[in-house]
Amino acid sequence: ETGVTQTPRHLVMGMTNKKSLKCEQHLGHNAMYWYKQSAKKPLELMFVYSLEERVENNSVPSRFSPECPNSSHLFLHLHTLQPEDSALYLCASSQDAAGVYEQYFGPGTRLTVT
Amino acid sequence: DQQVKQNSPSLSVQEGRISILNCDYTNSMFDYFLWYKKYPAEGPTFLISISSIKDKNEDGRFTVFLNKSAKHLSLHIVPSQPGDSAVYFCAAPLSARQLTFGSGTQLTVLP
C-alpha cells in the first residue's frame, strides 16, 4: 500500500449505530487530519493529531470521537449520528515540519446516515 | 467567513486550449498557497504551490500566478486535456497545521 488509505470507502449507518472509520498513512508523516466535505461546501477541518497527540479540535460534536494509536493510524469513532452528518470524510497526513504545508489525502469514506 | 474564495463553481474549456482557474483571498498575512485537484470518488491530490516571495511557479503544463496587491492567484493549465477534468481547490495555511480551502471549481475539458 502506498500513500494514504481509508476504510471503508462507503458506509451506511442508522442513527443509533456505532461505527468506526480507519485511516492509515504509509508516507512516514507525523501529523494526521480528519476533514468533512459536505456537498457544495469547502473542506472543514475536524481534528489534527501531531505525534499521536490531538492538537486541534474544531468545535466538533462529541458524537465524533477520534483516536490516534500511533503516527501511522487514525480512527474516527461514530455514534448516534444525525442525517446532516452524511458527507465525505477525508483523512490526510503531512510532515508537520516548519514551512511544509502540503497535506496528502486519502480517498475518503462516503458516509450516509439514515 | 471564507478567507479563500473561488467564485466560479464551474468552467468548460476545449481540449488544447488554456484553462484559467481563479482564487481570491482576504487575509494579507497568507504567505503560501496550494492548489489541489479532486476526481470523483477520490481524495484531493496536491498539484502545485507558490510562496508569496514569488509571483509565478511552473510545473509542466501547470503554472500558478500570484498577484499579492490584488490578493488573487490563478492556476493556468496549458494545453488542457480531458484528463484534467476535475474539481480544483485553492488553499492557504491558517497555521502550521491548518489549511483553509476554497469551495472549488469544476473544470470540464471538452474533447
pLDDT single digits (tens) B19-58: 999 999 999 999 999 999 999 878 999 999 999 999 999 9
Average pLDDT over residues A29-36: 94
A98, three cell numbers? 516548519
Instruction: Give the chain A residue whose CA is nearest to the CA of B51.
Output: A99
CA–CA separation, A77 and A74 (whole Å): 10
Residue contacts between A and B (CB atoms, under 8 Å): 60
**Which residues of chain A does B102 touch, with a Cβ-Cβ cutoff of 8 Å?**
42
Does the distance separating the beta carbons of A90 and B43 come in below 8 Å?
yes
Assess A45–B contact: CB distance below 8 Å, yes or no. Answer: yes
Taken in order A84, A55, B45, B71, the sign of the CA dihedral is positive
- Please give the pLDDT value at position B56: 97
Q: CA of B74 to nearest chain A CA: how many angstroms apart?
A: 18
- Please give the pLDDT value at position A53: 79
**Which residues of chain B does A27 touch, with a Cβ-Cβ cutoff of 8 Å?**
none
Kind of pairing between the strands at B10-14 and B105-110:
parallel
The beta-strand segments (E) located in chain B are 4-5, 10-14, 19-25, 32-38, 45-51, 56-59, 62-67, 72-77, 86-93, 99-101, 105-110
- Please give the pLDDT value at position A58: 76
Q: CA of A18 to nearest chain B CA: how many angstroms apart?
A: 24
Assess A39–B contact: CB distance below 8 Å, yes or no. Answer: no
Average pLDDT over residues A77-106: 91
Does the distance separating the beta carbons of A90 and B97 come in below 8 Å?
no
Residue B2 has pLDDT above 90, yes or no: no
- Please give the pLDDT value at position A1: 58
Assess B8–A contact: CB distance below 8 Å, yes or no. Answer: no
Higher pLDDT, A82 or A42: A82
CB A27 within 8 A of CB A104: yes
Does the distance separating the beta carbons of B42 and A40 come in below 8 Å?
no
CA–CA separation, A68 and B33 (whole Å): 28
Residue B103 is nearest to which of A6, A33, A41, comparing CB atoms?
A: A41
Does the distance separating the beta carbons of B97 and A40 come in below 8 Å?
no
Confidence category of residue A92, pLDDT binned at 50, 70, 90 = very high
Average pLDDT over residues A80-103: 90
